[in-house]
Amino acid sequence: MPHFEVRIHEEELDGKVEAKLVLALTDALVRVYGERARPMAVVELFGIPRHRWGTGGETGTVNAPIVSLNLREVALNLPGTPHASERLIASITDAVAEVFGESVRRKVTVHIVGVPAGRSGVGGEVDPPPAG
């Protein structure tokens, strides 16, 4: 299950931007994997007060969202989905810039975390077990 975690200044979350960001990130995933990915996408937004966030040794000066996408490692090498990591990074960056404006584009950090088979689970079941 693709799972986004977004860390952003709390002050950027205004009650309206949250729904836009959830939709934009889900759409970013769909641009790479197609509509089959939409119902699986999970997005969590974590607001961090400006005074608890530092960039370049200073607190609260730059809106620099950090987006982590955790998904099964195999999804990064699916047939018919070439260059998945590169496409995801570009698509996710586009989505964040769409919501917050072009001024954040060069500051968006994206981490793609491929979870190996057998190292995740839902409902207490390993999802899926390693082959062999």
What pLDDT is recorded for position 129?
A: 61
Tokens of 31: 């641009």
What pLDDT is recorded for position 2?
A: 95
What pLDDT is recorded for position 131?
A: 57
Contact 49, 112 (CB under 8 A): no
What pLDDT is recorded for position 79?
A: 93
What pLDDT is recorded for position 130?
A: 55
What pLDDT is recorded for position 115?
A: 94
The answer to the question of residue 80 being in a domain is yes
The answer to the question of residue 68 being in a domain is no
The answer to the question of residue 128 being in a domain is no
pLDDT, averaged per 10 consecutive residues of the chain (132 residues), comes to 95 96 98 96 96 83 91 94 97 97 95 93 79 54
Total structural domains within the chain: 1
What pLDDT is recorded for position 56?
A: 78
Parent domain of 45:
22-56+74-117
What pLDDT is recorded for position 15?
A: 95
Contact 32, 80 (CB under 8 A): no
What pLDDT is recorded for position 120?
A: 87
> Whole-angstrom Cα distance, residue 70 to residue 12?
23
The answer to the question of residue 3 being in a domain is no
The answer to the question of residue 78 being in a domain is yes
The answer to the question of residue 13 being in a domain is no
Please give the C-alpha separations between residue 38 and each of 28, 42, 48, 112, in angstroms, as whole numbers.
10, 9, 27, 18
The answer to the question of residue 6 being in a domain is no
pTM of the full predicted structure? 0.91
What pLDDT is recorded for position 60?
A: 74
The answer to the question of residue 40 being in a domain is yes
